[in-house]
Structure 1
Amino acid sequence: MNLDDKKRIEVILNACDNKKAYNFVVLDVSKISSITDYFIICSGNNERQTVAIADEVLDRGLKEGMNFYHKEGFETGRWILLETDNIIVHIFHREERDIYDLESLWLDNNSLDVEQYGIKNWK
C-alpha cells in the first residue's frame, strides 16, 4: 500500500466514523480483483444515516482532492456505493449488510487493521 492509498483510506474511514458508522472492514482485493484495490465497508442504522455518511465521505474526500466518479444508492439509502481512484466504499443499512454479506465473498485473509486509522466504532 502506498502513502496515497493509506491517506485516502484514512480520510474515508474518518469521515464515516464522524457520522457514527460502525462495523468497519477494509479489504485489500488487489490480488483477486481487476476492478479495484480496496473495499471499505461500513454500516449505518437507517437510511438517513447512510446518506449522511456518504455525504460526509464525499465532502471530506473532495476537500482532499479525491474524485468520486461513480455514486449510487442515495435514492434508497440501503446500500450506497462510492468509487474513487482504486477504492470502492460500500455504506450499508444494517439489514442490507447482513443480506449481501460482502465480507464473506471477498475476505479471504485480505482484511486490513482498521484500528491503525484511529477508528473507534469499528465493530
Structure 2
Amino acid sequence: MTKIDFFTLAIKAAEIADDKKAVDTIILDIRGVTAIANYFVITTAFSTPQINAISLGIEKIFKEQDIKPLRKDGVSSSSWRVIDYGGIVIHVMSPGIRESYKLEKLWENAKIIEPKILKVKSKKTDCRH
C-alpha cells in the first residue's frame, strides 16, 4: 500500500480551488495541534455552483489518483462543503459561513501555509481577525 502524501494533496486541492476562482485559500498545518488530520484546506466560494465546482473538481482529480474521501458533509448545503480524506480535510465555504465560523481563529495555533502558486485573493488580507 502506497503512503499518501497529504501535504502534496493539500497543495493540489488549493490549486484546484484557485483554478476555479476561489479566494483566500489557505492550508493549515494542524499536526501537533489536533489528531483530526494533518492539514485543513480552507477556501471561499461565492455561490453554490462555485462550491459544487470546487468540491467536484477536487474529488475528480483525487479519484483519478485512486484517493477517495472517507466522509463528505454538506452535500446538500449551499454554503459549506467538507471533504475528509483522513490526513486532509477540505472546507469550501461561502464568505458569510467562513466569517461566522472563523476556522482560522479556532485553529490559531496551526501554521498557515499560503502556497505561492495561488493567484486569487480577496481585498481582505488576514482571515484571522
Fold conserved (TM > 0.5)?
yes
> How far apart in 1 are the matches of 2:41 and 2:69?
14
Deviation >2 Å, runs of 4+: none
Which consecutive unaligned segments of at least 5 residues does structure 2 have?
A: 123-129
Q: Are the counterparts in 2 of residues 46 and 94 from structure 1 also a CA contact under 8 Å?
A: no
Relative to its length, the structure with more helix (as a share) is 1
> How far apart in 1 are the matches of 2:10 and 2:65?
11
| Counterpart for residue 70 of structure 1 | 71
Question: Cα gap change, 1:6/1:36 in structure 2, threshold over 3 Å: closer, same or farther?
Answer: closer
Give how far 1:113 is off.
3.0
> How far apart in 2 are the matches of 1:85 and 1:5?
9
> How far apart in 1 are the matches of 2:110 and 2:53?
30
| Counterpart for residue 58 of structure 1 | 59
| Counterpart for residue 14 of structure 2 | 13
Seq. identity, %: 22
> How far apart in 2 are the matches of 1:25 and 1:14?
10
Which consecutive unaligned segments of at least 5 residues does structure 1 have?
A: none
> Cα deviations across residues 74-110 of structure 1 (Å, max 9, x unaligned)?
2122110001130000000111111111000102251
TM-score (norm 1): 0.88
- For residues 1-123 of structure 1, the aligned pairs below 5 Å read 4-108=5-109, 110-115=111-116, 118-123=117-122
> How far apart in 1 are the matches of 2:110 and 2:68?
29
> Cα deviations across residues 57-81 of structure 1 (Å, max 9, x unaligned)?
1011111222211111121221100
Give how far 1:6 is off.
2.9
